[in-house]
Chain A
Amino acid sequence: MYRYDQYDQAMVDARVEEFRDQARRRLEGKLTEDQFKPLRLMNGLYLQLHAYMLRVAIPYGTLDARQMEILADIADKYDRGYGHFTTRQNIQYNWIKLEDCADALADLATVEMHAIQTSGNCIRNISSDHFAGAAADEVVDPRPYAELMRQWSSFHPEFTYLPRKFKIAVIASEKDRAAMRLHDIGVRIVARDGEVGAQFYAGGGMGRTPMIAPLIRDFVPIDQFITYAEACLRVYNRYGRRDNKYKARIKILVHELGAAEYIRQVEEEFAHLLSVGVEPPREELARITAYFAPPAFVDGPKTVDRSDPDFALWVDRNTHRHKHDAYVSAVISLKPAGGIPGDATSEQMRVVARLAREYSFDELRVMHTQNLLLPHVRIADLHAVWTALDEAGLGAPNMDTIEDIIACPGLDYCSLANARSIPLAQRISERFAETGRTEVVGELKLKISGCINACGHHHAGHIGILGVDKKGTENYQISLGGSEAEDVSLAKITGPGFDEDGVIAAVEKVTDIYLATRADGERFLDTYRRIGMEPFKEALYG
């Protein structure tokens, strides 16, 4: 994986000192809270309901054991012994004190980590396919391209005060495991006639106005990759709406202009920027790519001993095909039935770090589904890995099942929320685990947001739940048919909402309809697409 050289390290160190100085000026009254806010946000520091929250960047979701151990130490030193992994492959600490923040950032800098641009109206941490470098179906490892973008977007002088936040995802396979088309810019690295290039999508997003990003360029030659991204951003910086925060994302610009006109403006700016020359030297991509050379895989057994049914179930559910046939990628579920989606204790983080060191070439991933991943595990080692995970409470065999819920922090933490998400996720996963329905239902992606901002990706859920405030009580609306994958679609609302007990019953009714009508091999989403909304509506409201 990527390693900082003296320049990268100096940039991060400079940022820590800059933040210390900003905090000092704030305390001395030289900065008003209004002036300080965007500065602290660009260092990942939010003010939530009860305390400050620090969001730490994990570029393209890749980290090593040493970094995970520092994340565990920070949880113990400055927080309450746990952290929360997020849908953008980052980690959040919910109980940070302002006066500790610079020290926490300094600790992070010792292991090439930071909280730069994890918030604020700037280009955020770049996300990617969590199976990058391991997936059998990728054209190339997308992470070098994401790293090139990380460097380009870090402290970009022109794009620090954009109309609104800006999220970029980079993938390199037909399958989309990063919700690529629901990002402000989605990039797919492709090969055409042996030449590598980038396919660009722009103007996707969730939030209160969900949109699927249209294709804006089918092929950007890789030695013009950064220049094209710069053109996309410049058009947005100049013409994105600034009169209304809720209409300021690039999706609104692309929608209001129309994709064709946005493309025209980008192409014009692109031609201009090509003449200016903003692309990094070609050798830089080669230098970065060398860090992502595949580890030294060795041949070994390709099957496991399935005599232990619990282990066999975990292997079936939580492992993913690897490009080397003696290996798999192993998903570490942060979704124990009844647990808080995405939370891990410092002890669990240390277990995971040890397993990465011992069994996965010192590599870990954070998945946008709020789970962790050991990308390269020998099939021969799977039983040992599973045993250790299970002992640490990390062995839930539920990847992509209804227990694998994405949920935002909701009203338990967030000052924007209208309703709680976490307790609902806990009750649903508990209920389905108890009744044994999880396994019967199979793949079903359930996503819960505690407000219209959609941090819990409810628009992209096979079943989505949106918490709203109805005359002072929490009310939950159900939507069906969303997908964040290559078959991307936005979920449609079923009708009036339910109270907390009601929505759990409603989810069960919806799965009843699926189980009663599914054809062979159909996932919930497939059945919904085949039979449409009516039968579900009938069951819920008829």
Chain B
Amino acid sequence: MADNLGTSPDEVQFRFRDDEPVDHAAVTVDSCCDQTNATAVRIEPGDDARVLLPFLDRLALVEVNFPSFGDGRGYSAARILREAGYAGELRAVGAVLIDQLSHMRRCGFDSFAPDKRLDEEDAARAFATWENVYQRAADARRTIADKRHEA
């Protein structure tokens, strides 16, 4: 069962990377910790993303599942992985909606596999909604405060 987890590259609607997507299924966090060869893993809301930190070097894809759009734990999971230096693909899957896209992007997600395909135009608008941002996050954008005080 664990081997059939995850989304295939065909299900990815938006991807902000140039490398080849991983073409095999993801495993659970528990399996990932037990198997030394897993390169794709799927995080559920209750999982602690930090248990993956020792394995980041070998991971090429981390999927973060959003079974319901109102459960925001995946945003923290994503930032924690990026803060730890994870550079592989970080994919938001499940109940991913238009109005979450820009926040997810800021938390470090660089691919999106919504379980219901999103309107392309609405999504393009959503990704571009915030020309400026107030907080530092995983996307390394310069914040409004940074711009105010740049020499």
Contact = CB atoms under 8 A, between A and B. Distances in A.
B102 to A, nearest CB: 8
B67 to A, nearest CB: 11
Contacts of A22: 99
B131 A10 contact: yes
Given A157-B107, A159-B72, A162-B72, A11 B132 contact: yes
Interface string B111-138: 0000000010010010001111111110
Contact of B129 (A18, A38, A277): A18
Given A25-B122, A152-B135, A278-B135, A158 B107 contact: yes
A14 B99 CA distance: 13
Interface in B84-108: 97-100, 102-104, 106-107
A158 B134 contact: no
A121 interface: yes
Contacts of A281: 145-146, 149
A276 B83 contact: yes
Given A38-B70, A287-B149, A277 B136 contact: yes
A160 B134 contact: no
B148 A157 contact: no
A30 B122 contact: yes
Range for the number of chain A residues in contact with chain B:
35 or more
B70 A155 contact: no
Interface string A1-16: 0000101101100100
A160 B125 contact: no
Contacts of A155: 103, 130, 133-134
A529 interface: no
Most buried by A among B99, B103, B137, B146: B99
Contacts of A10: 131-132
Contact of A160 (B75, B98, B119, B148): B75
Contacts, number: 108
Contact of A151 (B73, B106, B107, B145): B145
A237 B130 contact: no
Contacts of B148: 5, 7, 283-284, 287
Contacts of B146: 281
Most buried by B among A7, A39, A121, A283: A7
B13 to A, nearest CB: 15
Nearest to B103: A157
21 contacts: A10-B131, A11-B134, A11-B144, A14-B129, A14-B130, A22-B99, A31-B97, A121-B70, A157-B103, A157-B135, A158-B72, A158-B75, A158-B103, A158-B107, A158-B137, A160-B75, A161-B69, A161-B70, A278-B137, A280-B143, A281-B146
Interface of A: 5, 7-8, 10-11, 14, 17-18, 21-22, 25, 30-31, 35, 38-39, 121, 151-152, 154-162, 234, 237-238, 242, 272, 276-281, 283-284, 287
Q: Which 5 A-B pairs have the closest CB atoms?
A: A161-B72, A157-B106, A157-B103, A284-B145, A280-B145
Given A155-B134, A234-B76, 18 more contacts: A14-B130, A21-B122, A31-B98, A151-B145, A156-B135, A157-B102, A157-B135, A158-B107, A160-B72, A160-B75, A161-B70, A161-B100, A237-B73, A279-B136, A280-B143, A280-B145, A281-B146, A284-B149
